[in-house]
Amino acid sequence: MNRRSILAFKFNFMVFDKAIAFILESQYPLGGWPQRYPLKYEYSKNGNPDYTSYYTFNDDVIWENINFLIQCYLTLGEERLLVSIPQRSARIPPGTSRR
Is 95 or 24 the better-scoring residue by pLDDT? 24
User: If DSSP codes are grouped into helix, strand and coil, which group holds residue 34?
Assistant: strand
- Picking from 39-48, 57-66, 67-76, which range would have the lowest pLDDT averaged per residue? 39-48
The one-letter amino acid code at 31 reads G
CB neighbourhood size of 10 (10 A):
10
Distance of CA 37 to the CA centre of its chain: 12
Arithmetic mean of pLDDT, 37-56: 81
Arithmetic mean of pLDDT, 40-65: 81
Residue 25 pLDDT grade (very low, low, confident, very high; cuts 50, 70, 90): very high
Give the pTM: 0.73
Asked whether residue 58 carries a pLDDT value surpassing 80, the answer given is no
